[in-house]
Structures are given as structure tokens and as C-alpha cells.
Chain A
Amino acid sequence: MTKTTAEQWAIRTADLRRTFRANRRRKGPEAQDFVALDGVNLRVAEGELFGLLGPNGAGKTTLIKILATLMYPTSGRAWVCGYDVQADPGPVKKLINMVSGGEHSGYGALTVRETLWMFSQFYGLDSGRALRRIDELMEVIGFKDQANTKISKLSTGMRQKMNFIRGFISDPRVLFLDEPTLGLDVSVSRTIRQFVKDWVKARPDRTVLLTTHYMAEADEMCDRVAIIDHGRVLACDSPDNLKRSLGRDSAVELELAGGRGISEGSLAAVPGVRRAAVANGDAADRFRITLIIERDEVVQPLLGYVADCGARVLSFRKKEVTLEDVFLSVVGRKLDDNGER
């Protein structure tokens, strides 16, 4: 992370809240207001590649939309490059761009180059300069051979590459990437991740805010990561520090067969177990447990409990703490469990 003065934040939010009003005509949960962001305070320095990690519905996209001037907060404030996103969006728009995952925007009748040129015009670039930049970006991403292909003929991965390039044409100061590798294959995802890292490194005034629910992506790419759930930032630090924050806590994984009454609650009740997550295994009576335990000594009583429940231990391993474990520790469930409050 580039050291800057305290004032020079690329992105800053102060007690940001966003509520969506309910449909009062309906009954039940739909009649309640939905709180998407619940007092978010973030500071992202210039030059950072900042990650926002959270499950679906955590508020990541809502936050990005507010920062990108597409939505107002219900209360609180946000600044991008020092400009208030609500009171002064004009300058903000000049400095940002956004790429969302799963995008398939594009006019079927146009070619890739034409589409990218069109978007360049929205940012005031003269045609010659725009086309040169487009060609350079396509070369780097490995997309130049598709330049004259119509959008309607592109595959999903190629469309996303095109949309990706669109995000960089205006050479933004702050780039919002909202799950940019969603639905892409390993090779394309790798290309995109490497490109983003190189791009941020190339100039110290470039900042990226990346939302993802791929732990490995956040771990690999980000200088700092904020874990967000139900609209709240629960932790925010570098991936290494987050992992270290578990302290002497360890992550263990067991695969069990059979057993009665084993649940996350009952496992968490075993002394020394901080968090537990249970997932189905490969066969009907098998399941996998991931646990965060305070110290290695907890293993024995844990195995005893499992045996008392009549389960057979098929495998046991102690693993290196990952962001997923940090997530489990902080949030109380795995990233792919959409728990209710």
C-alpha cells in the first residue's frame, strides 16, 4: 500500500447507509424495508488494490453503485478522489469506471472495436487516441484477433474481455470491478487478474476496488480486504494480517460418515471450538466439517464428541489458515451459506 497523507484517500465512506423501501402492499418479509448497507466506514488509499469480500446479498454491489454515482445513499457520505459522490458527481464520473461480472452488454450489430470506440466517445477521447488505446489494450489482453468480430458472435468469456477493456479505455483513477471474473474460465480469469495487478502497479495513482466472493482471488490480488456481510464491514486488513488475526486459532477439516445430532451448534458447544461449518459430502451419509479451534489441544475432545455421536472419521487434516477460515471466524458461516439473520 502506498503511504499517503491521511487526507489522500481514493475512496472514503462515512457511516454509509442504504435502505430499500418495502412494497407496502405485500405481506410478510417483503413488507419490511431491506437494509443493504448498515453504517459502512471505509478508507481506500491511492494506489491500493482493495478487495471487498462477502456472500451474495452482502451489499458489495450496492456499495459500488453508490461510489459510482448510480445510486444515492440513504444516509452518510462517500467521496471518490475527494469529491462527494452525491453532491459533486461530475468530477467523480471523470475519474472512475466500472466493470461488472456477468455483463453481456453490447450492441449485436457492432464489432468489438466499434463498441469500444463508442464508449471512448462518452469519455471525450478523440477518435485517433481512443483507437490506439483500444488496440493496445486488446493486444495486452490477448483479444486483438476479435477486434472486427460482431458482438453477437462472441462467447461469454470474450464479451467479458471486451467489457473489461471498456473499463480501462478512459484510464480511470479509480476502477470498480464488481465480480469481474464471474462465470469465466480459469485461463481468462487468470489473464484478467494479472492484467489488473499490472495495471495498478504501473502507476501509483491508480486504485482498484474489487468485489468478489472468490477467496483465492481476494487473497492473491488485494493489498487489503474488507469482509462485508449483511451490509456491515466486519473486518478490514491485509490478507496476511487477517489470517494472523486468528492468532493461535487453527483450521481443521474432518470428513465424517454416519453419526447422529452433529450440527454446527453442537460442534460450537465443544469447549475450544470457536466456529463450525457443516457441508454435505460426496455420499448420502457423509459430511465435511470445517472448524476454527483455539488450540491444538481441542482436537482430542472434539474427536471424542464425534465418536460419542456415532460418527466415523474418514479423514482429518489441519490446514493453513485461509481467508475462508477468516470469513468463517468473523461471520460465523462459510461464504456459500446464505444464512438468515
Chain B
Amino acid sequence: MTTGSGDTWAHEDDVRDTLARALRNNLRAAWGRAYVRVVGVNRELSWLFIDVLMPLFNIAAYVYLYRSMGAPKAYDGFVILGALMTAYWLNVLWSMAAQFYWEREIGHLELYMLAPISPMAILFGMSFGGIFQTTIRAVATVIMGALIFGVRFQIENPVAVLGVFLLTLAALYGLGMTAASLYLVYGRDAWNLSNLFQEPIFLLSGINFPVKALGFWTAAVACLIPLTLGMDALRQLVFDDPGIGFIPVGWEVFGLAISAVLTVLAAWKALKALEDLAKRQGRLTLKWQ
């Protein structure tokens, strides 16, 4: 292969990856990055206290709020289910998407971009490593919340519940990776944008109430957010209340599947495009933006 500078080096096979080798290398990289999270979480246990207590206080606040307003008992369960998914959404938003912001400030981002791997491998590693911490938070939240407030879940089809849950996660993590691409170019702007969108997404996804309460058209638009579809589907699957769903679970599963594929594709495109932009503008390694 000629490049205009003369001959290239006689090790094309070493520097051009086959698909299998690229996949293997990126999985290795993901595992390497996941390891940091797993080890860190086990060595610095201060997070345990916060990640278990904080959601519990939030749950309690919203449950008591509903009770003080005379809301039906079922709403206690909505709050607890919402807290479960909130844990994962916050993990996606702050421990994955925004992590590039921290990595750039520490000086790791340029080391990651220097290496012959995809940034998606790093992001995947971060999210995989963080799942342990998030799951502890989520499970503790649900169990304690259910026990303290006497909430009962009526799960007839645990496989369906697990399937919807995993599909929702896949779509959410794809969305998170797409958001992470912003941090390749932007610093505090992106950070504040993430901050800005946190509450509207909670509102539109119906974290604490059935999304149909937002009205048909608002709820329909809100279904573009994977969390909305996931929450609505899970509510229908774990609570015995026929009127709470916005659209049938089957449609929501379909929507989530499409969402998962599209968000991952969008992430791949966005990461490439914004990496390119960052290199053009010289912002990839620019700290303290």
C-alpha cells in the first residue's frame, strides 16, 4: 500500500486487524477498564453507604408525598419501581456518559484515544464495571422500599420482566454512549447539558407515575425515550392493575428492541464524528473547558 511518503512498513498483517482480532482486542480493553471499576468499588467502600441510603430517602419522600395527597396505595409501588430504574439511568448518565469529562481532566482520555481500540470498548468497560455497584443500589432499594412501605409486586412472568429490564438497559446504555461522545469535544457545556436533561427525562419517562398521566401526545413523544417504554412495560408486568399502561407491553418490547439497536448505532456514529471534530478543533486533550 503506498501512501505518498514511499513504502509503508513490512508488517501490514500486524497493524491491520481482522474482525476477530479487533473484537478480541476491544473486549480485552473493555475488561481492563471494567477491572478498574470493580476493584475500585471494592477498595473504597464509602459508596456503599450513600448508594443504599440515598435512594431510600428519595423513595420515602415521594411515598409520603403521595400519601399526604391521598394518592392510591399503588403509587407507592410506582415510586419504588422508579427508584430501581433511576439507579441505572444515573449510572448511565454520570458514571458512563460523563466519565469522559473526568477522564480528560485526569489525563486518561488522551491515553485511551492513543490506544488502538474503540472508545466504545472503554465505555462498555466502564458501564459493565459499574453494573455491580448499581445493581447493589437497585436491589437494596427495591427490597428495603418494599419491606418498609409494604409494597407487593405481582410478577406472573419473571422471564418477561427480566427481558424488558435487559432490553431497557441495552437501549439506555446505547443512549449513554451517544451522550458520551459529546464529552470528546465539550467539557462543562456537556456536563451542564447532562444536568439540564436529568429532570426532564425523569418527568417524561414517568419515573414516579404512569406516563399516560401526561396526556396522549406528550406520552407518545416521551416514548422516544427508552426509559419511558421500559418503565411503562415494567409497571404493567409487575403490578396487577390493568389501567396503568400507555401502550401494550408487546409494542413496548418492540420499541425497546429497535431503540437498543438504533442507540448503539447512533453511539458508534456519534463517537466517530465527534472524535473527528475534537481532533479538528484540537479539543480532545483540552482540559478545563
Which A residues contact B (CB, under 8 angstroms)? 5-9, 12, 18, 20-21, 62, 65, 68-72, 77, 79, 81-84, 88, 90-91, 93-98, 100, 103-107, 109-110, 114, 117-126, 166, 173
Q: Which residues of B contact A166 (CB under 8 A)?
A: 111
A122 pairs with B117, CB closer than 8 A:
yes
Q: In whole angstroms, what is the CA distance A94 to B9 when docked? A: 12
Not counting A8-B7, A72-B276, A173-B9, a sample of 15 additional A-B residue pairs whose C-beta atoms are within 8 angstroms of each other reads A7-B5, A65-B282, A65-B285, A70-B285, A79-B5, A82-B8, A84-B3, A84-B5, A94-B15, A105-B106, A114-B35, A114-B39, A118-B33, A123-B116, A124-B28
Q: Which residues of B contact A79 (CB under 8 A)?
A: 3-5
A70 pairs with B284, CB closer than 8 A:
yes
A88 pairs with B284, CB closer than 8 A:
no
Q: Which residues of A contact B117 (CB under 8 A)?
A: 122
Instruction: Mark each residue of chain B from 3 to 25: 1 if its CB lies under 8 Å from any CB of chain A, else 0.
Output: 11111110010111100010011
A-B contact pairs, 21 of them (CB 8 A): A7-B6, A21-B281, A70-B110, A70-B114, A70-B285, A71-B284, A72-B280, A77-B4, A82-B5, A83-B3, A83-B15, A90-B16, A91-B16, A96-B114, A105-B111, A114-B39, A118-B35, A121-B29, A123-B115, A124-B24, A124-B116
Most chain A CB within 10 A, of B5, B21, B33, B284, is at: B5
Q: In whole angstroms, what is the CA distance A121 to B116 when docked? A: 10
Tell which of B8, B32, B39, B284 touches A121, judged by Cβ atoms closer than 8 Å: B32
Q: How far is the CB of B3 from chain A (nearest CB, A)?
A: 6
A70 pairs with B279, CB closer than 8 A:
yes
Q: How far is the CB of B66 from chain A (nearest CB, A)?
A: 40
Is B73 an interface residue, CB under 8 A from the partner?
no
Is B163 an interface residue, CB under 8 A from the partner?
no
A93 pairs with B115, CB closer than 8 A:
yes
Is B191 an interface residue, CB under 8 A from the partner?
no
Q: In whole angstroms, what is the CA distance A147 to B138 when docked? A: 36
Q: In whole angstroms, what is the CA distance A166 to B14 when docked? A: 21
Q: In whole angstroms, what is the CA distance A9 to B3 when docked? A: 12
B3 pairs with A82, CB closer than 8 A:
yes
Q: How far is the CB of A155 from chain B (nearest CB, A)?
A: 17
Is B54 an interface residue, CB under 8 A from the partner?
no
Q: How far is the CB of A273 from chain B (nearest CB, A)?
A: 40
B8 pairs with A109, CB closer than 8 A:
no
Nearest neighbor of B282 in chain A, beta-carbon distance: A71
Which B residues contact A (CB, under 8 angstroms)? 3-9, 12, 14-17, 21, 24-25, 28-29, 31-33, 35-36, 39-40, 43-44, 106-108, 110-117, 276, 279-282, 284-285
Q: Knowing A12-B5, A81-B8 touch, does A94 contact B106 (C-beta < 8 A)?
A: no
Q: Which residues of A contact B29 (CB under 8 A)?
A: 121-122, 124
Nearest neighbor of A107 in chain B, beta-carbon distance: B36
Q: Which residues of A contact B111 (CB under 8 A)?
A: 98, 105, 119, 122, 166
Q: Which residues of B contact A94 (CB under 8 A)?
A: 14-15, 116
B114 pairs with A93, CB closer than 8 A:
yes
Q: Which residues of A contact B17 (CB under 8 A)?
A: 90
Q: How far is the CB of A177 from chain B (nearest CB, A)?
A: 13
Q: Knowing A8-B7, A82-B6, A83-B8 touch, does A90 contact B115 (C-beta < 8 A)?
A: no
Q: Which residues of A contact B113 (CB under 8 A)?
A: 69-70
Q: Knowing A6-B6, A121-B29 touch, does A91 contact B35 (C-beta < 8 A)?
A: no
B107 pairs with A118, CB closer than 8 A:
no
Nearest neighbor of B7 in chain A, beta-carbon distance: A7
B28 pairs with A121, CB closer than 8 A:
yes
Q: Which residues of B contact A105 (CB under 8 A)?
A: 106-108, 111
B285 pairs with A71, CB closer than 8 A:
yes
Q: How far is the CB of A89 from chain B (nearest CB, A)?
A: 9
Nearest neighbor of B279 in chain A, beta-carbon distance: A72
Q: Which residues of B contact A65 (CB under 8 A)?
A: 110, 282, 285
Q: How far is the CB of B43 from chain A (nearest CB, A)?
A: 5
Nearest neighbor of B35 in chain A, beta-carbon distance: A118
Q: Which residues of A contact B107 (CB under 8 A)?
A: 100, 103-105
B39 pairs with A109, CB closer than 8 A:
yes
Q: How far is the CB of B285 from chain A (nearest CB, A)?
A: 6
A121 pairs with B31, CB closer than 8 A:
yes
Q: How far is the CB of B176 from chain A (nearest CB, A)?
A: 21
Tell which of A110, A121, A124 touches B40, judged by Cβ atoms closer than 8 Å: A110
Q: Which residues of B contact A12 (CB under 8 A)?
A: 5
Q: In whole angstroms, what is the CA distance A88 to B110 when docked? A: 18
Q: In whole angstroms, what is the CA distance A120 to B25 when docked? A: 10
Q: In whole angstroms, what is the CA distance A21 to B21 when docked? A: 39
Q: In whole angstroms, what is the CA distance A21 to B286 when docked? A: 14
Q: How far is the CB of B278 from chain A (nearest CB, A)?
A: 9
Q: How far is the CB of A259 from chain B (nearest CB, A)?
A: 45
A95 pairs with B36, CB closer than 8 A:
no
Q: How far is the CB of A53 from chain B (nearest CB, A)?
A: 22
Q: In whole angstroms, what is the CA distance A65 to B111 when docked? A: 11
Q: Which residues of A contact B282 (CB under 8 A)?
A: 18, 20, 62, 65, 71
A109 pairs with B44, CB closer than 8 A:
yes
Q: Which residues of A contact B3 (CB under 8 A)?
A: 79, 82-84, 88
A9 pairs with B6, CB closer than 8 A:
yes
Most chain A CB within 10 A, of B6, B17, B32, B114, is at: B114
Q: Which residues of B contact A100 (CB under 8 A)?
A: 107
